[in-house]
Amino acid sequence: MPNGSLERYIFSRQGSVPLSNEKLYEISLGVARGIQYLHQGCDMQILHFDIKPHNILLDEKFIPKISNFGLAKLYPTNNNTVPLTAARGTIGYMAPELFYKNIGGVSYKADVYSYGMLLMEMVGRRKNLNAMANHSSQLYFPSWVYDQVNEGKDIEDATEHEKKTTTKMIIVGLWCIQLKPVDRPSMHKVVEMLESDVPANAPKPFLTHTKCKKMIIELIMQSYLIHQMTWTLHISLVVNMYKCRC
């Protein structure tokens, strides 16, 4: 594709030209419509299982195209949950239920979760797991984003319209990454929220307790510093998030 992947424009790279907040909003809406089509627009529902910036390609007009269907699975449209023998996807974008079945069954809501993390990165313009963050609260990215909205902090260098659309993206993203699949919206609802007004209050990310945050942050830091973010570690992170009663 002429303009490469979305990853090129939301993560700082030498020579890349940053996209405006309005353009990012248009791209986010285009991606949401694309995922909605995969889930509801065909005779079979297509679950992608690897929604992330690298797999969103942009044409000459920056219209997004979802790519890389290597992990995708086809299921009947009436299947509320789907069988999987192993977790699939990219760490940082994988829904918790892919690892911890007590959270809920695997379904199209796994793509919804990945899309939510994508929105978080588009707004924050950095990866959702950042071991080099200056402040520990920024390490668990959705929690940091929630704090920005909840405290009413302004979005820098943006018009009022851009602030409105960016805040909308944040709120929709936070709904998409709720811990339990049942609490996440469908992609049809996501498109509806992006195209219109959304509730004023953003839902809290599922990791909010200070002690839990600290524990997860330490594990993530250790993993990144020694370059050993393995499947086992990721599973333990999700299980600890769900079980922790701080």
Active site residues: 50
Residue 139 is classified by DSSP as T
As a dihedral over the C-alpha atoms of residue 92, residue 27, residue 206, residue 134, rounded to 10 degrees, the angle is: 60
The number of residues in the chain equals 246
Contact 205, 140 (CB under 8 A): yes
Query: Residue 226 and residue 89: Cα distance in Å, rounded?
Result: 22
Contact 20, 75 (CB under 8 A): no
Q: Which two tokens stand for residue 7?
A: 């990853």
Q: Which two tokens stand for residue 51?
A: 């929604």
C-alpha distances (whole Å) from 196 to each of 16, 148, 153, 164, 189 are 31, 22, 22, 11, 10
Query: Residue 20 and residue 152: Cα distance in Å, rounded?
Result: 21
Task: Strands of the chain (E only): list them.
Answer: 44-47, 56-58, 64-66, 73-76
In the block, residue with structure tokens 């079979």 = 44
